[in-house]
Structure 1
Amino acid sequence: MEAIHPVPELVWAIFSLLLVALSVYLVSRRTHLPFTVMLVVVGIAINFIGHEVPALSHIEDTLSISPDLILFVFLPTLIFESSYNLDARQLRHNSAQILALAIPGLLLSTGLIGVIIWQALDIDLIAALLMGALLSATDPVAVIALFRQIGAPGRLSTLIEGESLFNDATALVVSKILLTTLAIGALSQDQLVGGVFSFVTLFAGGLIFGVLLGYLTGKLIGWIDSDPIVEIGLTTTLAYLSFLIAEEVLHISGVMATLGAGLTIGTWGKLRITSSVRVYLEHFWTVLAFTANAFLFLLLGMQVDIPSLASSWDLILWVIVAMLVSRAFVIFGLLPLFDRLPKVDPVGIGYRFIMFWGGLRGAIALAIVLSLPDYPFKELFVALVTGAVLFTLLAQGLTMQPLLRLMKLDQPPLADRLALLEREITAHQRAIKRLPALHEGGLFSSRITQRLNHRSQQAIAHAKHEIHRLREEHLTPVQEFNLFFLRALTEENSYYREMFERGHLSESVTRRLLMMLEHQIDSLRYDKAFHNGNSRLQYEYIEHWLFSRFSNTPVLRAIVEHMRLVRISRYYETVWGHFQGSRHVLHSIDQLSRIDSTPTEIVSRVREHYRHWNHLATDKLHRLNHDFPEFALLMQERLGKRIVLLSEVETTREQARHGTIPQGMAEEIEADLIKQLKRLRGHAVQLLNDDPEQLLKRVPLFARLPDNQLRKIATACEPITLEKHDYLVHQGSRNDTLFIVSRGTVRLQHYTDGEEHRLSTLIAGDSFGESALLGEGHADVSVIAQTPSRLYTLSRERLGQLMQKDPELRDFLAERDHRLKKIHDQNHTVAPG
């Protein structure tokens, strides 16, 4: 948009069109006509009568559509909002068909449209192919807006939206190659090779850059303390900067970059956005997308030149025929070939027909054709593309909803219909509980209360009857089991998210738990079968050989030990989270079944699965608590501290709401509490006390040693790690080392005449080998690791070197050792009988 008009005139034009768009939106809601199509019609009407109405003519002169306006103002908003809300699981499940339509499908369509136009319009073949490339990219803006309003089925929407979002990069690359060919006059092999390389660079490079930028933005959002202004501002900046940097700096696909950024924030990054901010964010992008759609389609309609289209009606008709024929070949010829690939859910004939008719063209085609350099066919191409776009929006857009209704694809899935009926039951049950309070408050007619109560009872009975009818007519026992199991999994999913929001689960563990749930949900939704979840939790340590080979290597010791701690900590938290989630579902399952009176045998089957998972998690927790008591204690301590802090947050908010404490003071207190909560979120590994100096203080020999002497001895200690069942000391071997347990448990045992005698078990902070450190050092016991363990060792040689350098230390330890031996001898003296 060129800034050649005074600011008041520009503001007048913008907000006048926005007011028109809001009026169209209200009419669209009442008439159920497609909003975007009505905008185009109104835009055409403004253009048509603009010469007679000075105010409309002034608006038309002030604002006009241009390629830069579409690409750099409207498109980033619309692509980001769409990809942010795209169902990632549906996209992944249908990726084979979507990519088939976006790449080979678009190339096939380009060739077919080009050949038909070449034969019909008597123009150069390369120019005809260029027209084919322009008209082969379905427009995500038009498709997404239309399908959301008419409520198309989820998978159908994903297929068409996914194709529309991904095929833009292909169309742009093919257009550039053909434009270069037109300038040169011939298509060479080098151009083809360069075109393939350019496509890979634009398509993959844009997607990778967008995902990377979205990841960095998500990380930044996670570090911010729930600030709606900053978080929403960052997503807006991400949408536009990803597009601009990709297009103008890196020269890759801006659409793919914004798509990758939106998908990353909408899937991986959504968990990092605070739940309260997430609501604001979704509303913000809804309003932004509405505004962009409104201006885009109004300006598109105002762009239409009726006389020019009328003079080229016969040529436009050929273009429309070519467009429909090519679309039919792609949808009914190419797509079924990819349906035969393994693990690909075929697309039914009804969906394919809607995909054929729903391949709308719109602003993308116009943006490309308007941005073309001057050449002999440009004016003709603008008219033809405008006519073709107008046909798809008016003819196909207006008939889409009746077509969906005719093919019975406008009805919600069975699961959604049951959910709506359950909503009806729950809502009226709540109303029945609350209505008596009106009458008890006085001055409220008991007759009205009884009448409303009766209506709610009738609504509940009707909803239950409908659920029973749907169950009898449509649900098989397998489907009934799948639906109820999906409800239980959804409840578990919601509980994990709630635990994350309250800070009881770390981000990585929450993602892991949700990923396991999504795998099970996908198997129920797509494979139509339930897979036993015995493998949902596995004891995941880094391979034994890695630890045994590198854990005692000085250079890698710290890295390997940290990796081990992180893995153990993450696994412990995952098991604990699954234990809590399965227990929550077991407590909630009766309430879930009462909503729609699910058959008892199905509820029992689902309950048995969750009991099995709960027992599995319980057994693993017992084993982990035995193997790693430090992690259990730290997890419990962290949870307890979080509960205390959350109670303080709730009390602070309540007092601020009642005016007990000033609002400003409450905000400062709450901000400090939330910072403390964030510091407690995460794995317990960062809280483990692994300081040899602190461990030495628990050894009787060194307990009274001054701090400066302790630090010297601590530097002489060396860490070692043991796997389960590793021997630390063999009975009868020579030992001259003190061992201090830092993590895990070790067992002392003695063999007499071939019989094993277990003496004691040592845990973190315990030590043995003091006499060996200063005495003879022949071991009369064996020491075996019961769990993966970490210990610190102090050899007699290292201690002797320190004592030689420090006589004071030598004298202190000699006196301390003598005193301890004396105390030991006194304790073991047998008193006379």
Structure 2
Amino acid sequence: MSAASICRCSTRRPGRPTGTVTTVGSSGSKPAPMAAPVPWSWTSAPRSRAPHSHGATEGGDARPQDQGGHQMHSSSIAGLVTTVIVLLLVSALTLTLSRRWRLPFTVLLVVVGVLLGLLADHGPEILRPLAEHDISPEVILFVFLPTLIFESAFNLDARQVRRNLAPILTLAVPGLLLSTAIIGLLLAATTPFGLVAALLLGAILSATDPVAVVALFRQLGVPERLTVLVEGESLFNDATSLVVAGILAGLLGASQVDAGTVVGGVVHFFIVFCGGVIVGWVAALLCGWALGRCHGDGLVEITLTTILAYLSFLVAEELFHVSGVMAVVAAGMTLGGWGRLKISPSVRDYLEHFWEYLAFVANALIFLLVGLRVDLAALSGALDLLVLVVLAMLISRAVVIHGLLPLLGRLPGGAPVDMPYRHVMFWGGLRGAVALAIVLSLPAFAESETFVALVTGAVLFTLLAQGLTIENLVHRLGLDRPPLADRLASEEGQLAAKRHALSRLPELQRGGLFSARIAEGLRSRYSEAQEALEATVEQLRRNEVDPAGELQLLYLRSLALERSHYLESFARGHLSERACRDLIHSVDSQAEALRHRGELPDFTLHPPHETLTEAGLHWLRRLVAATSLPERWTSSLVAYEYEEAWGRYQGSLRVLEDIERVAAERALGGAAVDAVRERYRYWREQAAQRIDATAAQFPEFVGAMQERLAGRLLLFAERQTLEAEASEGTLSNGAAHELLAGVAERIEGLRGGDISKLHFDPTELLRKVPLFRGLSTEDFTHVAECLDGHTVPDGEAVVIEGKHDDSMYLIGRGVIRVSRHDGDGERDLARLFAGDFFGEMALLHHEPRSATCRAASPCALYELRREDFDALCTARPEIRAAVEAVDRERRQGLEKE
């Protein structure tokens, strides 16, 4: 028996004309050419129909041709819908059995599919339609694959991916290329395949699809890093495999392959790979922008994410001809990280369930159809060739995992991947839908049908042999044992639940519905369980927790509480998206440093992009200084810093209020409690100082912020009352929906701060400057017209030592710190307050700045340029005299230094 007959999902099937497919809805009289398969369609074998004599019905009337075609179309659609419904029903039953038997879902799906295929061939006639429907590779690539990739990328922890990006990309790009070369060379030496064809098969079989393994990891609770490594590799190497297979398929028809061809292929690969990332990233930014403008509309938000998944794939593939898989990966990870907070809190959970269900449907249909298309009898007749393929695949995987990853860990800054992790990554490299989709979509060539058979057999081997044994491997290596923090959290969570349940018993007895005997039995049962849990927790702490570990546990729990507070504040509208994201970044960075280094980082409040923001602000001021854009940006920055400080203050206060209760419930020692309490008090005081500084400089803005906060709190009280009345039925659903929508709109309108309150009155502030106190109203108005007002955030350098510019600044509000570099670093010279001015030396003497002036608090400054200064001094010579007097005094002070 030939290898081509092993798999019935090959492009040629018994009973169908060679080189043609019949799509759903066709009449069967004009088959479409095989070279142009119809995407978005499932194919079904044509069904026999009894001919009508002379084209007439029994009544003698001629039957129109279009009516017969219409009935055939309706019959095909009905058959397709019925097949999908049956497959979904089988999937649901299989999922139930997989959970009961603790077997990987996708593996069990393939087994069930094989059994259904056998029953369809040799069993009841009612099952025969299941074997007649086939799925085209275009459906896998354009319908199912974007769903699977987006769901996985959206739920990946972006921080963990960044931390493990080096090993992930190493496995996905050079690792896949190395795997392709090893498989290709081994098969070229041991099989009749040519080198290019063998390399093509190697590229196809190097694409991992660990759906079953990742699901098992989540079920067993393996370390998060292992899950990220396996799933991240799969996401990235899918794209690599598709691109490399496409390049090699193009080389099959080439008369010769020279160095130029190879170099061109490499360049093309990187263009396609990186181009897909750019397309997906831009698409995610646009989607995030749209999500931010339809806040609270769940249907629109879910629709936008669906559009993002498919449109990014289609635009990348069809418009820019780059990797659609990488576009979806980049889009999913960008929206799942940066854009997650743009999704309404009320929609976020439902959105995750929506994509989880779509992924379930896609996986279920794919793996069931794979099982349905396998002919076990034919498969056993070609084991010799299949054994060689499987051996080559395993050898290449071992070389990549145990050869590349150890080398990567030895590089500077490289995080080593432990041996148990490498063992699991080697055996967990399953193959699946992507490999099948690639091989089915290849153009016709000499070994195409043999490739389909071999890839199908390799996929079955990985699913059945590796997928069914990976759990035992994880257990033997001890990777299913949760870390101490998780084990303690589990035990303490159960303990807290038992305590709360016991506290409810008196309330149940007061209701008079339970006898004393039943209540006493429940109390005894729960008390015994509580004592057992307390003993377990105490044993864990005594045997496995040292003082440093105790401190780390309390820090991690406090940071988790702080993080949940920020998310709650964002959901209530008390924090803007940007402030919430940066505060969560701070907490996550601290928690990650504690887990991996055992200590808190020195500074984590602001993310790395803050320096880029400051640089952009300086550039914008120089580029469009004549417009109001820089001032608006600066005002927004001051408002953001106040909001961030307010959030940090409230988060620290929340932890300090709960730390005694948390410490008492978990029986933690006093030293750990004192250390964490002292650190949070320090953070609270730092935040309070920034809040006070902003309040002193911009009291109108802080008052407006407090008014907005009070408005939001009252609106939340209104919402709770409306929800309670709707739940009790005293308010109709229609009225409640309308009222709640109005409240939500008002809450959203009060989110963030009103930067208009940061725009100060120049006249009021300038009259406090001593230089201008003696001016007439007319002269004062002329001076005010020459000055440009700026709002400067805390810490920003206004002038920098050694720089050349020609402006003088007057302080309307705030504090400026003057410093100068010497041999030991930066030394403070003075502090300037409202009414003072600085920068006069460069203005008068055309020389570089002699010192650095930096805002020590949010400041309101006025800039006076040289041309305006000269015009002003011509009209008012006493102003020049006053400025020169201050200049002489400051120069004398610098000379003494």
TM-score, length of structure 2 as denominator length: 0.77
- 2:339 aligned with 1:269, yes or no? yes
Q: Does 1:623 align with 2:663?
A: no
1:64 deviates by 1.6
The partner residue of 2:431 within 352, 358, 361 is 361
Question: Which digits, 9 at most, give the CA deviation of each residue in 1:487-519, with x for residues without a partner?
Answer: 111111110111111111111111111111121
Partner of 1:231: 301
Structure 2: state its 5+ residue gaps.
1-40, 44-72, 769-777, 797-808, 817-832, 837-854, 873-897
Partner Cα distance (1:400, 1:725) in 2: 54
User: Aligned to 2:193, what secondary structure does the other structure show?
Assistant: coil
Cα 1:666–1:379 change in 2 (3 A) is closer
Q: Report the residue type matching 1:457 in the other structure.
A: S
Q: Which amino acid aligns with 2:550?
A: E
Q: Deviations over 1:383-410 (max 9, x none)?
A: 1111111110000000011111111112
In the other structure, the counterpart of 1:756 is none
CA distance in 1, matches of 2:638, 2:382: 72
| Residue 154 (structure 1) shift | 1.4
Rounded to whole Å, the distance in 2 between the matches of 1:188 and 1:549 is: 49
Which residue does 1:706 correspond to in 2?
none
Closer, same or farther: CA 607–536 of 1 in aligned 2, 3 Å: farther
Name the CA distance, whole Å, in 2 between partners of 1:606 and 1:254: 48
C-alpha distance 581-544 of structure 1, shift in aligned 2 (>3 A)? closer
Alignment of 1:212-251 (within 5 A): 212-251=282-321
- Establish whether residue 136 from structure 1 lines up as the match of residue 206 from structure 2: yes
Q: 1:151 to 1:290 in 2, by over 3 A?
A: farther
Identify the residue that residue 30 of structure 2 maps to in structure 1: none
Instruction: Report the secondary structure of 1:64's partner residue.
Output: strand
Counterpart amino acid of residue 714 in structure 2: V
Select 1:2's aligned residue among 28, 39, 42: 42
Aligned-pair CA distance for 1:153 = 2.7
Verify: 1:583 aligned to 2:583, yes or no: no
**Mind listing any 5+ residue stretches in structure 1 that lack a counterpart?**
699-708, 727-738, 747-759, 764-783, 800-833
For each residue in 1:451-501, what CA deviation from the matched residue of structure 2 results, as whole angstroms up to 9, or x when unmatched? 112222222221222122222333333222222211111111110111111
The answer on whether the counterparts of 1:94 and 1:344 sit within 8 Å (CA) in structure 2 is no
Corresponding position: 1:116 with 2:186: yes
Question: Which is worse superposed, 65-74 or 126-135?
Answer: 65-74
Q: Which amino acid in the other structure matches residue 133 of structure 2?
A: L
1:571 has 2:641 as partner: yes
Structure 2 counterpart of 1:789: 860
Give me the whole-angstrom Cα distance separating, in 1, the residues matched to 2:428 and 2:264: 33
Q: Is the 8 A contact 1:169 1:202 kept in 2?
A: no
| Residue 124 to residue 501, structure 1, CA distance change in 2 (3 Å) | same
Give me the whole-angstrom Cα distance separating, in 1, the residues matched to 2:613 and 2:444. 64
Number of equivalences: 747
Partner residue, 1:388: 458
Whether the 8 Å CA contact 1:126–1:182 is kept in 2: the answer is yes
Give 1:434 shift. 1.3
Match of 1:163 in 2: 233
> In the TM superposition, what is the alpha-carbon distance from 1:137 to its structure 2 partner?
1.2
Matches of 1:340 and 1:125 in 2, distance apart?
34
Q: Deviations over 1:197-246 (max 9, x none)?
A: 22122211112211221222122122113122221222122222222222
Distance in 2 between the 1:254 and 1:564 partners?
A: 39
Counterpart residue type for residue 194 of structure 1: G
Give the Cα–Cα distance (whole angstroms) in 2 for the partners of residues 539 and 64 of structure 1. Answer: 50
1:42 and 2:117 correspond: no
With 462-471 and 492-501 compared, the bigger mean Cα shift is at: 462-471
Amino acid at match of 1:222: G
Q: Distance in 1 between matches of 2:682 and 2:795?
A: 29
1:505 to 571, 575, 592: 575
Q: Is 1:79 matched with 2:119? A: no
Amino acid at match of 1:226: G
Kept in 1: contact 2:570–2:577 (CA 8 A): yes
* 1:463 alignment partner AA: L
Residues of 2 paired with 1:725 and 1:279: CA distance? Answer: 39
Cα distance in 2 for partners of 1:211, 1:538 equals 19
Q: Which residue of 2 aligns with 1:200?
A: 270
- The aligned amino acid for 2:413 is K
3-state DSSP of counterpart to 1:279: helix
**Residues 36 and 146, structure 1, Cα contact 8 Å, conserved in 2:** no
In structure 2, how many angstroms separate the alpha carbons of the residues matched to 1:169 and 1:56? Answer: 40
Q: Choose from 592, 595, 600 the match for 1:525.
A: 595
Alpha-carbon offset, residue 185 of structure 1: 3.2
The structure in which a higher percent of residues are helix is: 1
Deviation of the 1:643 alpha carbon: 2.0
The aligned residue for residue 280 of structure 1 is 350
| 1:516 has 2:556 as partner | no
Q: CA separation in 2, counterparts of 1:232 and 1:416?
A: 33
Which range moved further: 150-159 or 108-117?
150-159
Instruction: Please identify, of 384-393 and 553-562, the stretch whose mean Cα deviation from structure 2 is larger.
Output: 553-562
CA displacement at 1:305 relative to structure 2: 2.4
Counterpart of 2:428 in structure 1: which amino acid? G
1:318 corresponding residue in structure 2 = 388
Match in the other structure for 2:563: 493
Where does residue 379 of structure 1 map in the other structure? 449
Q: Classify 1:145/1:371 alpha carbon distance in 2 versus 1 (closer, same or farther; 3 Å).
A: farther
Q: Residue 717 of structure 1: CA displacement?
A: 8.0
SS in 2 for 1:144: helix
> Which residue number in structure 2 is paired with residue 332 of structure 1?
402
One-letter identity of the residue aligned with 2:382: S
Give yes or no for contact 2:474–2:480 (8 Å, CA) kept in 1: yes
Instruction: Work out whether 1:642 is the aligned partner of 2:712.
Output: yes
Post-superposition offset of 1:555? 4.3
Q: Deviations over 1:802-828 (max 9, x none)?
A: xxxxxxxxxxxxxxxxxxxxxxxxxxx
Q: Which residue, 594, 606, 609 being the options, matches 2:676?
A: 606
Aligned mates of 1:42, 1:390 — CA distance in 2:
13
Q: 1:350-382 CA deviation, whole Å, 9 max, x = no partner?
A: 111011100101111111111111111112111
Give the deviation of 1:716 after TM superposition: 6.0
> In 1, are the aligned partners of 2:656 and 2:677 still within 8 Å (CA)?
yes
Whether the 8 Å CA contact 1:722–1:785 is kept in 2: the answer is: no
C-alpha change, 1:205 and 1:56, in structure 2 (3 Å) is: farther
1:57 Cα deviation (Å)? 4.3
Cα distance, 1:157 vs. partner? 1.0
Alignment-derived partner of residue 750 in structure 2? 680
**Alignment CA distance shift 1:664-1:600 (3 Å):** same
Deviation (angstroms), 1:661: 4.7
Cα RMSD of the aligned pairs, angstroms, is 3.7
**In 2, Cα distance between equivalents of 1:113 and 1:542:** 46
Match of 1:433 in 2: 503
Which residue is equivalent to 2:25? none
CA contact (8 A) 1:488 1:585 kept: yes
Deviates more, 1:680-689 or 1:31-40: 680-689
* Offset, 1:792: 11
Q: Secondary structure at the match of 1:681?
A: coil
Greater CA drift, 569-578 or 536-545: 536-545
1:309 aligns with 2:349: no
2:628 and 2:530 map into 1 onto residues whose CA distance is: 63
Q: CA deviation at 1:343?
A: 2.9
Measured after TM superposition, the shift of residue 573 of structure 1 is: 1.6
1:467 aligns with 2:537: yes
Q: What is the distance in 2 between the residues matched to 1:524 and 1:725?
A: 28
Q: Quick check: 2:243–2:323 contact (8 Å CA) kept in 1?
A: no
CA distance in 2: counterparts of 1:134 and 1:151, whole angstroms: 31
Q: C-alpha deviations, 1:586-636, integer Å up to 9, x for none?
A: 111122223321222212211111112112222232333223333322322
- The corresponding residue for 2:122 is 52
Residues 789 and 449 of structure 1, relative CA distance in 2, 3 Å threshold: same
> Using the alignment, how far apart are the partners of 1:538 and 1:23 within structure 2?
49
- Aligned-partner SS, 1:51: helix
Partner SS for 1:360: coil
Separation in 1, partners of 2:404, 2:622? 58
**Match of 1:442?**
512
Shift of 1:786: 9.3
